[in-house]
Amino acid sequence: MGAKTDQVKGQAKEAAGTLTGDKDLKSEGKADRRAGEAKAKLDHAKDKGEEAVDKVKDALHRR
């Protein structure tokens, strides 16, 4: 699943766990949300790395 999907799914589970008093569901939701946040950060870092590589390639091709 995508990062945003995991975050939303986690938020929903957290809310459901809070409403029902199910600590396990709330904890599972928190883990899902945090996993989604981590995925988003990794995706962002990957994009920035690819941009840097593209800039270097462009600079080398201009020579």
In the chain, domain spans: 3-62
pTM score: 0.77
Rounded to an integer, what distance in angstroms lies between the CA atom of residue 16 and that of residue 62?
56
Mean pLDDT of 25-40: 97
CA distances for 61 relative to 36, 56, 57, angstroms:
37, 9, 6
pLDDT at 59 (0 to 100): 87
- Cα within 13 Å of Cα(55), Cβ side: 6
pLDDT band for position 42 (50/70/90)?
A: very high
Report the percentage of the chain scoring pLDDT > 90.
89
pLDDT band for position 6 (50/70/90)?
A: very high
pLDDT at 62 (0 to 100): 85
